[in-house]
Amino acid sequence: MAKYIIVSGGVLSGVGKGIATASIGKILSEYGYKVTAIKIDPYINFDAGTLRPTEHGEVWVTNDGGEIDQDLGSYERFLGIDIPKSNNITTGQVYKAIIDRERNGEYLGETVQFIPHVPEEIKNRIKKASKDYDITLIEIGGTIGDYENVPFLFTAKSMERELGKENVVYVLITYLPIPTHIGEMKTKPTQQAIKLLQEQGIMPDIILCRGKEPLDDVRKKKIETYANIQRELVISAPDIKVLYEVPINFEREQLGLKILSKLNLQPKKKPDWKEWEIALNRLKASEIVRIAMVGKYVDIGAFTFKDAYVSINEALEHSGARVGLKAKIDWVDSKTLEDKDPAETLKNYDGLIIPGGFGATGIEGKISAIKYARETGTPFLGLCLGAQLAVVEYARNVAGLKDAHSIEINPKTPYPVVDLLPTQKELLAKSSYGGTMRLGAYAAVIKADTVVYKLYQKENRIVEDMQQKLSPESLGEVQNFEYVIERHRHRYEISPKFHEALEKAGLVFSGYHQRQDGTKLVEFIELPKHPFFVGTQAHPEFRSRFLNPAPLFIGFMEAVKKHIEKRVD
Ligand code: GLN
């Protein structure tokens, strides 16, 4: 029998529901169960692809090309599995499916109504996503009490009725504030969240209490009395420095066994946290290195928005845990590098990353940062736009192609080293704009004896990736070669017209994807004589996991380690 854990949040958003869900999943998989997770986003957008990053943080890209909520990233990083786009359910998808069906006459004249049609559609989606798993976590976005949550809570309640209480467990995540003028942790907002949940007929089975401090006994007792649940089911979840410690913390209160018992399940095996703890300890004890992430940053009020690069931060944590370094990331606004010598800012860093991006803002600042990294031997990793700009910089300053550019930024450049392919141009002319994006997993053939090859080889990723199932389009014509798989989200490509000139000037193209129509698309570039200068058209950060860091990030951090050995300060 499939089992479900419904995770909802009270009091306020942004208290780490995604991490808590991912951690519960990890714990249950350590007890021997096959676990997956679903994220429900109650907004009307079909997916997160069109959401402004300042609105919603990073857009997470799945293997099957979904552009969705970043919580799926946390699930993948903790659970170590690939999660498809159908595990992100939005109100928009649910209503669109129902309306499309109605327009096709599939309801045979029935009145289509909120009840039963909406919960039925949600349930079908949940059942499909959980088909091959023992336990499915369902995180409901937003906060209890939001109008838009109601259909999903209603569905949960109806699943409980259909499947039986022992198959549907509710976890409520709340927040206990400590107002500075009182200096005491307050339980009232939590009491109110419990009440709001009860209005939907739901009694929480477990309450996870987030807060700056651990929950003391007095407060546990208060919540016990108010929610009418045993004290040991009220779990303290204080702030911690390293996210990957959350499952270990939960297990200190035996959360896994408590949930299993609610689900009427026995542990199938003894959890083994050894590898996880080794990585965690390495990370906690690590030496700090300074990484500059040169990008376009938007200020929101008095705060700078950094959530747009969560996966890169995490990939740096993972690779840091591997090589014994802790990356302290500084977000450097590339605009600030435009009218000065970039060395003034960048000399303070041990490594440089240019992340993905769209549009023209701050581009020249990024290019001059790349030039600095290339000339000074500072470890450099270019991700998607970062790789494209590394090609632009090399074309301009080494290959002598004056004013070379990406046509995304300068459509009139004499040397469009980053361009749209003819087939993409046809699509654009027909104005199917969305269709020109390369999205999701693609196979890339990698050239022997390159830095990139060695890194993937060492992590066993060539063998592993070649066993993965891919659609014919994602696989392309690579079967006769050694290849790896990474995820993509971009429109422009490094133009084949300039490969020869750039190669002659010393740039190495270390990997390519070959489409079914024979077109070769550059996936990796590198400079062999540089301590570490690698760019990729892909986003390897999307496949980085705590225990399986992305090979290119490992290479970058290893180079940073060597770089700091030379540091004099
Ligand atoms: N804007 C570039 C493109 O569309 C790069 C996108 C990215 O960095 N993800 O190709």
pLDDT, tens digit (0-9, with 9 covering 90-100), for 97-146: 999 999 999 999 899 999 999 999 999 999 999 999 999 999 999 898 88
Q: What percent of the chain has pLDDT over 70?
A: 95
SS3 content of the chain, % helix, strand, coil (to 5): 45, 20, 35
**275-293, pLDDT tens digit by residue?**
999 999 988 877 899 999 9
Residue 564 Cα, ligand 1 centroid: separation in angstroms? 31
Task: Return mean pLDDT, the chain.
Answer: 91
Is the Cβ atom of 490 under 6 angstroms away from ligand 1?
yes
Instruction: Check: CB of residue 439 under 8 Å from CB of residue 489.
Output: yes
Query: What pLDDT score does 518 carry?
Result: 86
Q: What phi and psi, each to the nearest 5 degrees, are found at residue 102?
A: -65, -40
Rounded Cα–Cα distance for residues 128 and 21 (Å): 20
Is the Cβ atom of 40 under 6 angstroms away from ligand 1?
no
Does residue 209 carry a catalytic annotation? Answer: no
Residue 499 Cα, ligand 1 centroid: separation in angstroms? 19
Catalytic residue, chosen from 384, 488, 513, 558, is 384
Task: State the closest ligand 1 atom to the C-alpha of 355, by its place in the atom list counted from 1.
Answer: 8
Query: What pLDDT score does 306 carry?
Result: 61
Is the Cβ atom of 488 under 6 angstroms away from ligand 1?
no
Query: What pLDDT score does 410 carry?
Result: 95
Pocket test for ligand 1, best of 67, 385, 489 (most atoms within 8 A of CB): 385
Query: What pLDDT score does 129 carry?
Result: 95
Angle at Cα 254 formed by Cα 253 and Cα 259, nearest 5°? 120
Query: What pLDDT score does 301 carry?
Result: 53
Mean pLDDT for the stretch of residues 478-493: 93
Pocket test for ligand 1, best of 358, 419, 537 (most atoms within 8 A of CB): 358
- Find out whether the peptide bond into 214 is cis, omega within 30 degrees of 0: no
Q: Which residue has the higher pLDDT, 471 or 50?
A: 471
**322-377, pLDDT tens digit by residue?**
999 999 998 888 888 888 899 999 999 999 999 998 888 889 999 999 999 999 99
Rounded Cα–Cα distance for residues 33 and 267 (Å): 8
Does residue 541 carry a catalytic annotation? Answer: yes
Q: Which residue has the higher pLDDT, 273 or 217?
A: 273
String of DSSP letters for 254-322:
THHHHHHHHTT---SS----HHHHHHHHHHHTPEEEEEEEEE---EETTEE--GGGHHHHHHHHHHHHH
pLDDT at residue 434 is higher than 90: no
Is the Cβ atom of 211 under 6 angstroms away from ligand 1?
no
Residue 57 Cα, ligand 1 centroid: separation in angstroms? 17
The owner of tokens 């196979």 is: 443
**25-37, pLDDT tens digit by residue?**
999 999 999 999 9
**178-187, pLDDT tens digit by residue?**
888 888 888 8
- In this structure, what token pair is assigned to residue 346? 């960048």
Does residue 317 carry a catalytic annotation? Answer: no
Of 320, 318, 373, which is closest to residue 349 (Cα–Cα)? 373
Is the Cβ atom of 493 under 6 angstroms away from ligand 1?
no
| Residue-range domains of the chain with CATH | 3-272 (3.40.50.300), 287-419+492-568 (3.40.50.880)
Is the Cβ atom of 421 under 6 angstroms away from ligand 1?
no
Mean pLDDT for the stretch of residues 376-396: 97
Query: What pLDDT score does 54 carry?
Result: 64
Mean pLDDT for the stretch of residues 477-501: 93
* pTM of model > 0.85: yes
Rounded Cα–Cα distance for residues 144 and 422 (Å): 50
Q: Which residue has the higher pLDDT, 502 or 218?
A: 502
Query: What pLDDT score does 302 carry?
Result: 47
Query: What pLDDT score does 557 carry?
Result: 97
